[in-house]
Amino acid sequence: MLGLALYILLAPLVAFTIVIFFGRKLPRGGDFISLFAIWSGLAASLYLFFTQMLGHYDPAFALSYRFDWVTWGTYKLNIGIAIDNMSMMMLVVVTLVSSLVHLFSVGYMKGDPKYHRFFSFLSFFSFSMIGLVLADNLLIIYAFWELVGLSSYLLIGFWHEKDSASNAAKKAFVTNRVGDAGMLIGMLICFTALGTLNLVELKDGVAQGHLAGGLLTAAGILLFMGAVGKSAQFPLHVWLPDAMEGPTPVSALIHAATMVAAGVYLVARLFPILTPDASLVIAYVGGFTAIFAATIAVAQNDIKRVLAYSTVSQLGYMVMALGTGAFTAGFFHLVTHAMFKACLFLGSGSIIFAMHHVLHNIHSHDDAQDMRNMGGLKKYMPVTFWTFLIATTALAGVPFTSGFLSKDAILGGTLAFAMEHPKHWLLPAFGFAAAGLTAFYMFRLVYLTFYGTFRKGSEAESHLHESPRVMTVPLIVLASLSIFFFYAAPAFNPTTPAGGWFATLFPTPENVTLASGRYVSPASSRLGDEAVEPTAEHASGTEALHSAHLEHLAHNWAMLISILVAGLGIWIATLAYYKWKIDPEKWRLRFGVAYRGMYNKWWCDEVYKATAINGTLGLSKGLAWFDGAILDGIVNGSATVTRLFSTVQGWFDNKVVDGLVNLTAMVVGFWAHFVRSFQTGQVQRYLLYTLAGVGIVIILVVI
Amino acid sequence: MNNLTTYLAISAALFLLGVLAMMTRKSAVSVLMGVELVLNAGGLNFVAFSRFGNGSLNGQAAALFIMIIAAAEAAVALAIFLNLYRLKASAEVDKADTLQW
């Protein structure tokens, strides 16, 4: 088990090391090494999935391997691998999508000058993501979290010759750091209070009441901030649409299926320790993101941007589900969404690939991703069309698809929450509205792309053809995984996941913040209505019964409403973009400001530019001025003063000290000069001096 | 007239003449002649004191020595002059001024 898990984790790392260093020299850029690493990882994951997870069929199944990493005196920091149902499920999702994307990239990236680098980065990403999934410890999760961010940065900026791509990469990186800062503080709160970052020990610590109250709520919300960044929730969602600058397989792998789900995964892992208040914040952030991004997706023309906003919206759904306590539904939507959204992105990649080819052949510089240039592709790309259609129905929530199961479960859970707490009716309203919008914009996309006539003329049309098989096979696999019965087995009930293996293996974990008894949850306060003071056991029993009933009721309503709104969305899209009975232009004008808001992404980027970016720039400029004028002024001032002193001292040294020395020398020299003048070397002169001397002596003696 | 003072006066005159010659003449030979005059002024003093003194012959012996020394000195001096002449192509004493500062 451990060996297998370690193999899944380390194989992509080895592949990354080989391909990044030697890929240029290997045949085919070494892509087969990356492919082998991830496909063998998929095989191992599937083995674990079938033998361990389905083999044990136990919701509480968990294994963990730990070792001491750092010892500080008596404190030991453990790290390790946790293998439970959730991590095995995530392993399958990650390796499956990743291996299909690897395969797709072989076709999509063919001929790219940095082909081998692309594959090494894909391997690196797979390693990081698998590590994130397997970690049993918030610290290790955080480390892999950042590695995932790094590989995302590398892959978004893969075509860094384009300014837009390198800017998008930077934007993604910096925006994520904002969330990660919060996550780090949340981790520090947990560590300070509980002395551990291990997920199981965290849960135990909270259950024993060592961390409770406002601090626990704060820790939950701060940890959630990391998820806000990584899963592109409002207000940190701005990076994800820009991340579409990366190659399309990257968008499918990282920015649709796996990495962005990491935030949801983290929230799901932390689910037991989220207080009701923190959960409420999470639910509202998710719900608002779902509706907010859906409105933007309606007005976009770039095929990948529609999908990007749809991803943001769907991630909002998952987060909302986890916030409202619909754990199973949220995690289920993560899995199903990974499949059909990867299929949609790869399908759009296939379309863009074909469009590139066409535009290249007619020497046009139009945007290959703009849906207004497409149309009628159904005839030329049948495989892409059918797989895309299946994934679209799944995303729109049409019955008999996996998306219907999971979205319905989320909406049902949200509705049950709102029935229990009527003042939070806004959450299901957000959910249903977003469901309708999702159906509308997805069918708008399908109609604009695949139906009607090709808008680039018949000459260009002749260049259209289906993508190679290496690209269509992943589409077929992912599309077939969007059908409900893969998830509903063994119950095969197309309306609810209940009874299926997924719902059985992933029941809602107990929220231990309530068990500590310091919190009075809204749910437990309802017990006051009963005449008899109930015992704890009795109370939880009735409550469970009551909840189950409520959930059942909510589920039926949710299913009805969601089919209605999805049908409405599809119907409007059909009228507007298939039959052209409603003129979209007219409605565009009728909506006025609202349309411009949607088209311009509600001016989020502009607002951030005006506040956060310009604020930071202004602060930097202020600090630069302070540094330049004040600090440098002080330094320069002291230098000037020092120089002044030195000048005075130098003058004193030159004039006074040296002057005295020179004066001494001058006096000596003067006398020497004088005395020297007697020493002429003329014998006769010396004789004269002698005579003069004798004369003086005689005079002295005589006198 | 025949007394000590006269001899001493002549001796002093000789001495002064000798010194004058040594100081003023440029030619080395003339300077040497000046030296001879000074020496002989000394010798004359010895002889005069011997004649008008206590009558011993010591003074006359000293005069004899002075004459011998003068001869030896002349020999040495002439040899120096010869070298000087070789060096400077003249025998004038003011040319020999190398030994100065």
3-state secondary structure A249-262: HHHHHHHHHCHHHH
Q: Name the residue in chain A with its Cα closest to that of B25.
A: A684
Chain B residues near residue A684 by CB distance under 8 angstroms: 22-24, 31, 93-94
Specify which of A113-127, A381-395, A643-657 reaches the highest per-range mean pLDDT. A643-657
Tell whether B97 is covered by a domain: no
Q: Looking at residue A541, what is its pLDDT?
A: 52
Q: Looking at residue B101, what is its pLDDT?
A: 59
Contacts of residue A611, defined as CB under 8 A and 6 or more positions apart, other chains included, come to: none
The domain containing residue B55 runs over which residues?
4-92
At residue A403 the predicted structure's pLDDT band, cuts being 50, 70 and 90, is: confident
Tell whether B8 is covered by a domain: yes
Q: Indicate which CATH number applies to the domain containing B62.
A: 1.10.287.3510
How many beta-carbon contacts under 8 Å exist across A and B? 28
Q: Looking at residue B37, what is its pLDDT?
A: 92
Is the CB of B84 inside 8 Å of chain A's CB atoms?
Answer: no
The string of pLDDT tens digits covering residues A154-189 is: 988 888 888 888 888 888 898 888 889 999 999 998
Taking residues A317-344, report their average pLDDT. Answer: 88
pLDDT at A341 over 50: yes
Q: How many helices (H) and strands (E) does chain B have?
A: 3, 0
Taking residues A435-443, report their average pLDDT. Answer: 89
Q: Looking at residue B92, what is its pLDDT?
A: 82
Q: Looking at residue A545, what is its pLDDT?
A: 61
Chain B residues near residue A688 by CB distance under 8 angstroms: 23
The string of pLDDT tens digits covering residues B22-41 is: 888 888 889 999 999 999 99
Q: d(Cα A511, Cα A220) in Å, to the nearest integer?
A: 13
Q: Given an 8 Å threshold on Cβ–Cβ distance, is A683 in contact with B96?
A: yes
Q: Of A250-259, A326-335, A448-457, A618-627, which gets the smallest average pLDDT? A: A448-457
Taking residues A115-135, report their average pLDDT. Answer: 90
Contact A332, A502 (CB under 8 A): yes
At residue A535 the predicted structure's pLDDT band, cuts being 50, 70 and 90, is: very low
Q: Given an 8 Å threshold on Cβ–Cβ distance, is A676 in contact with B96?
A: no
Q: Would you tell me the crossing angle of helices A327-361 and A469-480 to the nearest 10 degrees? A: 160
Q: Given an 8 Å threshold on Cβ–Cβ distance, is B100 in contact with A691?
A: no
Helix (H, G, I), strand (E, B) or coil at A1: coil
Q: Provide the terminal-to-terminal Cα distance of chain B, rounded to the nearest Å.
A: 51
The string of pLDDT tens digits covering residues A491-526 is: 767 677 777 788 778 888 877 776 544 444 444 333
Taking residues A12-31, report their average pLDDT. Answer: 86
Q: Given an 8 Å threshold on Cβ–Cβ distance, is B97 in contact with A682?
A: yes
Question: Bigger pLDDT: A62 or A543?
Answer: A62
Tell whether B47 is covered by a domain: yes
Q: Given an 8 Å threshold on Cβ–Cβ distance, is B100 in contact with A688?
A: no
Q: What is the tally of structural domains in chain B? A: 1
pLDDT at A116 over 90: no
Q: d(Cα A396, Cα A517) in Å, to the nearest integer?
A: 42
Q: Given an 8 Å threshold on Cβ–Cβ distance, is B23 in contact with A687?
A: yes
pLDDT at A639 over 90: yes
Q: How far is the CA of A118 from the CAs of A122, A242, A701, in angstroms?
A: 6, 19, 120
pLDDT at A600 over 50: yes
Share of chain A above pLDDT 90, in %: 16
pLDDT at A457 over 80: no
Q: d(Cα A306, Cα A293) in Å, to the nearest integer?
A: 9
pLDDT at A110 over 70: yes
Q: How far is the CA of A351 from the CAs of A98, A163, A165, A344, B34, in angstroms?
A: 20, 24, 20, 10, 134
At residue A209 the predicted structure's pLDDT band, cuts being 50, 70 and 90, is: confident
Tell whether B98 is covered by a domain: no
Tell whether B99 is covered by a domain: no
- Which of B15, B23, B31, B92 should one mutate to test binding to chain A, selecting the residue with the greatest count of A CBs within 10 A? B23
Q: Looking at residue A610, what is its pLDDT?
A: 79
Q: Looking at residue B68, what is its pLDDT?
A: 92
Q: Looking at residue A525, what is its pLDDT?
A: 36
Q: Given an 8 Å threshold on Cβ–Cβ distance, is B23 in contact with A681?
A: no
Question: Bigger pLDDT: B78 or A554?
Answer: B78
Q: Looking at residue A520, what is its pLDDT?
A: 40
Q: Name the residue in chain B with its Cα closest to that of A686.
A: B23
The torsion angles phi and psi of B92, rounded to 5 degrees, stand at -100, 135
Q: How far is the CA of A671 from the CAs of A662, A676, B99, in angstroms?
A: 14, 8, 20
Share of chain A above pLDDT 70, in %: 94
